[in-house]
Structure 1
Amino acid sequence: MTQFPIDPVACLKSLVACPSVTPAEGGALSRLAETLGGLGFATERLVFSEPGTPDVENLFATIGDGGRHLVFAGHTDVVPVGDEMRWTHPPFAAEIADGALYGRGAVDMKGGIAAFVAAASGFLAADGPAGTLSLLITGDEEGPAINGTVKLLDWALAKGHRFDAALVGEPTSAARLGDTVKIGRRGSMSGTIRVPGRQGHVAYPHLADNPVPVLVRILHRLSSLTLDEGTDGFQPSNLEITSVDVGNQAFNVIPGEARARFNIRFNDRWSVADLTDFLRAEIAAAADGTIHELDIVQRPSEWFLTRSDALIGPLSAAIRDVTGETPALTTGGGTSDARFFKDVCPVVEFGLVGDTMHQVDERVPIDDLTRLATIYRGFLDRYFASAADA
């Protein structure tokens, strides 16, 4: 296995030890900036803000000048740990046991960052890039995703950086390291449905207006929909009801309003605009003249699909060399910050097996971590070599 000037295990232990629960920086970006600075990267720390959202710290690091420009994207923020008493090892102790490193963020996605930093250290110690290599790291991926990658990317472009390809180090492998590379994602749209009523005593329904039956009709219609059967590049679209609430603690009171929330993951049969129009028509039909409201929230994201042989070819070859796997190219799963790169440059996602992400006892096998670093190193060699040969 390849040896690295920066050990991926030591790097990951250092990052996991930082309690960077979103939106807190927790020291993770500081440690990462110090490590990258020691490798010769020029680093910049940036804080972005927006009313109603927490301030978020981000990091941009770059080395090289001109030529093909590859950017690695990731995040150091992590989800909350839940009940700490249920963890076999403290979530920020970064302890190693039974061949795995335990800790919140070990898989999602400090492990991917540590593996790439190790790979970059070996790459730079050899020949270095025949072009430019950057890391774009946010502290807002697990949060609202407003003051993170999207603004950091805009800032980098305004500074004159032009990216030819992006690699996002999310944990994409399904069952074995290297079995899956993501080349796109379905779109995501969330919404709230509100049906107003008039509160009253259940014994006198003629003096009230119960919104619950109307909301039930709407939800039944939506949950019965078949949006599509899938397409060549994407799995079927799906709509899921995620919350129903009337804010009522009493048995003998008709509520004054009823609300429901939903999320849709949609493929290339739809756009946000088309899907919104479709939903409005379906909800109106179910409401049958009853007053109702539909509010689309949380900045919906469109589907995307990128195919670049200059990116996929070197990555797939590096994966085969280390694991023997020929990765499946898929668009499944949830959203990620890769969606912010789709209009800038080709982007792929590849990283660790994600079977313990967001769970109690999140952990990464040490062997997987070192093999991922080796894959990333092989990818860097191939990607920049192909640029030099072009």
Structure 2
Amino acid sequence: MLKELQEKVLADREELFAVMQRLIQIRSYSGQEEEVVTYIMEKMAEFGFDEVWSDGLGNAIGRIGDGPVKIMWDAHIDTVKVTENERWKFPPFEGKIADGKIYGRGVVDEKAAMAGYLFAGKAIKEVFKEQPLPFTLYVVGSVLEEDCDGYPLRHIIEKEGIKPDYVLLGEPTDLRVYRGQRGRMEIEIATYGKSAHGAHNQQGVNAVYKMAAIVKEIEQLDKNLQPVEPLGKGSATVSDISSKAPSLCSVPDYCRIHIDRRLTVGEDQTLVLEQFRQIADRLQIEAEIEVPVYHGKSWKGTEFEQEAYFPTWILEEEHPLVKAGLAAAAQVLGQAQSGVWSFSTNGVATAGRHHIPTIGFAPGKEELSHSDREELVLDDLLKAAQVYAVFPFTLMETINRK
């Protein structure tokens, strides 16, 4: 049966590549995904998915089967923007195919997984037709991930009432089974002073000078953070700084910094905020320290907000879901390896907030994401689609064996 599923995907090889090309040709920046959502839903319906819809946020969702075990495949279908300074080998929305590769914005991050899911679902429907399946498979093309990672799946779980038992993410893993990621959070720190004319600056209190001392301490904090396997070390980066004063000839009475804090195993929001409070206390500087709230609107006009905290998560190597992913990869590739991401994914919602077992598997190299070097080996896309097709069945076998 697993071989038959693989052969079905293989038979659709050229159509798979054509659909992948079309996904790249449809520009889908965050908040502008309507056209690609419509295209994906049309393909789901064409391929015989049992139910197809777009939820209240604008995610594309297709269902196959109605068995008791709920599995979710997620691929975010929005992309970051192309900038005028990028130097692409081929136009980023052409979907150029050359020398066994496809080029363009989103080929790695992460429309390849969506293409693979579609044809894996097609294969399952063709092999099993109307036979009952032991699982319910939700195939999700999620929106807005680049703007607010995790929120689209939080919406599905918390607003739409679909809570899967297991999740497979389509962020690039270079055909390895990934089982976790560093978390991240954003922090804003503000200091206050007293403004005065620059000619009489001794009469003022410079908020920038106060902040300079804090920034120096944050630099040292970053150097002192220790690695924790398998995710490595966290980091603290001052990514933006601004100040306010009556004029450019005045002492600033306000200064603000924005910090990107990456979180390893054992680091969470409480710990991080305390680290920054201790810095201010040690320096005897009064400072406001807070986690900003992201406000957004989807292509459907749905407004939402989320605190800028995205928890770390890790699944043990011996977890049944990891074993099932490795078994599916080995079935197709002949071997399988595990790993972890360096960047953040929608797993911050499923695994980080809702503690749903989550893994990732997809073609493409993570380091090519968000760059003008995005390219994908088409044979890797084909292999990934075959892995997706057999994965629900290796998962059921692993669960039943347990």
Normalised-by-shorter TM-score class: 0.7 to 0.9
1:137 partner SS: strand
Deviations 1:163-220 (A, max 9, x none): 22110010123xxxx3x43212222121111112233333312222212221111111
Code of the aligned partner of 2:282: A
Deviations 1:102-145 (A, max 9, x none): 22111111011111212222222223643211112211101134
**What residue number does 1:103 align with?**
104
> Following TM superposition, by how much is the alpha carbon of 1:385 offset from its aligned partner in structure 2, in angstroms?
4.3
**2:296 counterpart of 1:306:** no
Deviations 1:18-67 (A, max 9, x none): 1111110141111111111122220121233xxxxxxxx21221111123
**What residue number does 1:61 align with?**
62
**2:348 counterpart of 1:339:** yes
2:239 partner SS: strand
**2:48 counterpart of 1:40:** yes
1:105 partner SS: coil
**2:192 counterpart of 1:196:** yes
Q: CA-atom RMSD, angstroms?
A: 2.6
**What residue number does 1:296 align with?**
291
> Following TM superposition, by how much is the alpha carbon of 1:9 offset from its aligned partner in structure 2, in angstroms?
0.9
Q: Answer yes or no: is the 8 Å Cα contact 1:149–1:340 preserved in 2.
A: yes
Alignment partners' CA distance in 1, 2:151 and 2:82: 22
Q: Which runs of 5+ in 1 are unaligned?
A: 49-56
Structure 1 pair 232/364, CA: closer, same or farther in 2 (3 Å)?
Answer: closer
Code of the aligned partner of 2:320: A
Alignment partners' CA distance in 1, 2:11 and 2:153: 28
1:30 partner SS: helix
> Following TM superposition, by how much is the alpha carbon of 1:84 offset from its aligned partner in structure 2, in angstroms?
7.8
**What residue number does 2:220 align with?**
224
1:71 partner SS: strand
Q: Answer yes or no: is the 8 Å Cα contact 2:150–2:347 preserved in 1.
A: no
2:105 partner SS: coil
Q: Answer yes or no: is the 8 Å Cα contact 1:79–1:358 preserved in 2.
A: yes
Alignment partners' CA distance in 1, 2:233 and 2:243: 31
Q: Answer yes or no: is the 8 Å Cα contact 1:72–1:134 preserved in 2.
A: yes
Code of the aligned partner of 1:282: I
Q: Answer yes or no: is the 8 Å Cα contact 2:149–2:345 preserved in 1.
A: no
Alignment partners' CA distance in 1, 2:62 and 2:72: 9
**What residue number does 1:54 align with?**
none
2:266 partner SS: coil
> Following TM superposition, by how much is the alpha carbon of 1:240 offset from its aligned partner in structure 2, in angstroms?
1.4
Alignment partners' CA distance in 1, 2:373 and 2:183: 30
**2:385 counterpart of 1:373:** yes
Alignment partners' CA distance in 2, 1:37 and 1:155: 24
Structure 1 pair 199/337, CA: closer, same or farther in 2 (3 Å)?
Answer: same
Superposed counterparts of 1:21-40, under 5 Å: 21-40=29-48
**2:264 counterpart of 1:267:** yes
**What residue number does 1:12 align with?**
20
Superposed counterparts of 1:82-121, under 5 Å: 82-83=83-84, 86-121=87-122
**What residue number does 1:209 align with?**
205
Alignment partners' CA distance in 2, 1:211 and 1:84: 35
Q: Answer yes or no: is the 8 Å Cα contact 1:106–1:364 preserved in 2.
A: yes
**What residue number does 2:301 align with?**
none
1:148 partner SS: helix
> Following TM superposition, by how much is the alpha carbon of 1:87 offset from its aligned partner in structure 2, in angstroms?
2.7
Q: Answer yes or no: is the 8 Å Cα contact 2:179–2:338 preserved in 1.
A: no
**2:134 counterpart of 1:130:** yes
Deviations 1:235-291 (A, max 9, x none): 1222111122235798754323222111211223232123212321222222x1x43
Q: Answer yes or no: is the 8 Å Cα contact 1:69–1:133 preserved in 2.
A: yes
**What residue number does 1:241 align with?**
238
Structure 1 pair 66/321, CA: closer, same or farther in 2 (3 Å)?
Answer: closer
> Following TM superposition, by how much is the alpha carbon of 1:151 offset from its aligned partner in structure 2, in angstroms?
0.7
Structure 1 pair 295/155, CA: closer, same or farther in 2 (3 Å)?
Answer: closer
Structure 1 pair 335/361, CA: closer, same or farther in 2 (3 Å)?
Answer: closer
Alignment partners' CA distance in 1, 2:84 and 2:214: 37
Code of the aligned partner of 1:78: T
2:206 partner SS: coil
Code of the aligned partner of 1:216: A
Alignment partners' CA distance in 2, 1:247 and 1:95: 48
> Following TM superposition, by how much is the alpha carbon of 1:86 offset from its aligned partner in structure 2, in angstroms?
3.0
Q: Which runs of 5+ in 2 are unaligned?
A: 1-5, 294-306
1:47 partner SS: coil
Alignment partners' CA distance in 2, 1:294 and 1:26: 37
Code of the aligned partner of 1:44: W
**What residue number does 2:362 align with?**
351
**What residue number does 1:73 align with?**
74
Alignment partners' CA distance in 1, 2:320 and 2:382: 25
Structure 1 pair 131/147, CA: closer, same or farther in 2 (3 Å)?
Answer: closer
Code of the aligned partner of 2:172: P
Q: Answer yes or no: is the 8 Å Cα contact 2:280–2:286 preserved in 1.
A: no
Structure 1 pair 30/170, CA: closer, same or farther in 2 (3 Å)?
Answer: same
> Following TM superposition, by how much is the alpha carbon of 1:348 offset from its aligned partner in structure 2, in angstroms?
0.3
2:108 partner SS: coil
> Following TM superposition, by how much is the alpha carbon of 1:227 offset from its aligned partner in structure 2, in angstroms?
5.6
